[in-house]
A and B are shown apart, each in its own frame.
Chain A
Amino acid sequence: MAKERKAFSNLMKAIERGEFVYTGELEPHRSIDLSDVKDWATTLKNTGKIIAANVTDNPRSDSAISSLVAAYIVQRDTGLETVYQLRTADRNRLALLSDILGAAALGLRNILALTGDHTKIGTTPAAKPVFDFDSAHLVALIHNLVYEGKDLDGNEVHGPKPEINVGVAGNPNMDPLEAEVLKLERKAEVGADFVQTQVIFDVEVARRFLKAVEHIGIPVLIGIFPPRSYGQASFFDKYVPGVTVPEEFLEAFKKFKEIEDKERRKEKINEYNVEYFVNFIKEVKKEKACAGIHIMAVGYPDVIGPIIEGVEK
């Protein structure tokens, strides 16, 4: 069902070689100072296992520096490949085309095509939201530019065609799941190369999703977020749409909260995260559709290396 695809990015090439890949996440702020973002990118790169990192675009409609610029600067200065997140909430089809060509000209090779949260829930709720395209249209536009050298109106791109792989978001927590599966079929039909999912804690949810989308033939990176505290874990459970954290996980973190010695508490949390997510990844890795893991925990370097090493052991 998925369209024939070429691999342009390191990420896509590794997936095509059958490697189990890991991606990370970078969240630039409403600032022109990208030093902390670059530091985190360097940490991710130094694990030696993270092949690329997503650069978020106005997440939660909280305004931030251009993700195109941040993705370029990070890739240039740290050598870590970036996945440029691009949302249709803020740009019409002309602006999207401009940014896609701009990204390709700057040497970016991955775009994650997103619709994006509604502007009304963000920092600037009075903004006029765009939504001229949705994420499926953005995928179709990128695919047309890459393979036909034309936009969706048939306007030709002069010179070489852009070389970009396009990813999409998947929502394993969608109820009913059938609605999400059909939606992914739709996105694959118009040219999506890979999927990165929302955060999942429950291995059963991940497994159910991977089985349900296997027939599409699209590689899936399962999203995880090792929490640093009970507060973070219960935040996901309570406030992140559709995400449930298993009871035993929350119980364990509740107990860690009671440990008074800060270092000791941190150590326990790290140990638990490593054990939990190593087992989680080993399980989801067995599924044919699972091509890798997308680690969303920003600024929590202590566990990323050990988790990956634990899986590979």
Chain B
Amino acid sequence: MIITKEKPVEEILSYIEPYKSVLVVGCDGCVQPPRGLREAEKLASMIEMARKAKGQEVKVAATTVTRQCCIEGLRNQINVDGYEAVVSMACGIGVQVLTMVFPEVQTFPAQNTVFIGYEEKREGNMYEACVACGDCMLGYTGGICPVARCAKSLMNGPCGGCVEGKCEVEVEIRDWKGEVVEVVKNDCAWYLIFNRLKEIGRLDLYRMYRPPKNWALATGPRRL
């Protein structure tokens, strides 16, 4: 799933300040935490209240689509006629596809797109686990990705910064305002890989030399 974080509402308000009619578009696709109709309606009413408080009139509505990343779907599912601006609750892809499909209106992001990841449980912590590098090596690393989960993306780790199974690099866990709520050390991906491969009797895979990665496969913008 694609993990996003809500932008501060002040930022969203500043984008739409010049416009008198705004459509907030949710996405029922893979964006997590969920950013569907409920969240779109919530943002729409926040916009309405904030603008009212300033004595600025605004027409705001909320809707959602199956996936903002599908051009055909967007064309069939929503209509932006009568709106001057669109606010997307989806990832950075959604914002760009809305811009492509409806060039007559300006689309603004309501989310910061953070990473591709997984979650512990509903509304639990989110973890980055794939960077879409285009050349999956999970078959050699016990199903644990060093490209996404090692701070240095090492092919032949661990490095000297692995202490008691933890990475030397501290990571900040931030809330939706972007403020740091906790500083933690991640598990060293190569420590996990070593243990996993040892457990399944495949240390031959750990021992092997893995040549440099072909980053040309990850050079964007990519097309399929």
Contacts and interface: CB of A to CB of B under 8 A. Distances in A.
B212 A132 contact: yes
Contacts of B152: 89, 115, 118, 129, 131, 134
Interface stretch (B19-27, B79-87, B156-164, B173-181): B156-164
A182 B208 CA distance: 9
Contact of A176 (B153, B163, B194): B194
B206 interface: yes
Contacts of A120: 151, 169-170
A126 interface: no
A115 B154 contact: yes
Nearest to B159: A115
Contacts of B155: 134, 136-137
Contact of A152 (B163, B190, B194, B212): B212
Interface residues of A, number: 33
A186 interface: yes
Contacts of A186: 156, 207-209
Interface in A231-271: 241-242
A126 to B, nearest CB: 13
A241 B163 contact: yes
A136 B194 contact: no
Contacts of A182: 203, 206-207
B151 A179 contact: no
B156 A134 contact: yes
Contacts of A115: 152, 154, 159-160
A50 interface: no
Interface residues of B, number: 30
Contacts of B154: 115, 131, 134
Contacts, number: 79
A136 B163 CA distance: 20
Contacts of B164: 175
Contacts of A133: 212
A191 B103 CA distance: 56
Contacts of A152: 211-212
Nearest to B215: A132
Contact of A131 (B153, B160, B207): B153
Nearest to B210: A136
B187 interface: no
Nearest to A242: B163
Interface string A162-176: 000000010100111
Given A183-B156, A185-B207, A186-B208, A118 B169 contact: yes
B128 interface: no
A115 to B, nearest CB: 5
Interface in A188-217: 189-190, 198
A98 to B, nearest CB: 16
18 contacts: A89-B152, A115-B154, A115-B159, A115-B160, A120-B170, A121-B168, A121-B169, A131-B153, A131-B154, A132-B212, A134-B152, A136-B155, A136-B156, A178-B198, A178-B203, A183-B157, A186-B156, A186-B208
Interface of B: 151-164, 168-170, 190-191, 194, 198, 203, 206-209, 211-213, 215
Given A131-B152, A132-B213, A137-B212, 12 more contacts: A115-B152, A115-B154, A118-B168, A120-B151, A121-B168, A152-B212, A178-B198, A179-B206, A182-B207, A183-B156, A183-B158, A198-B160
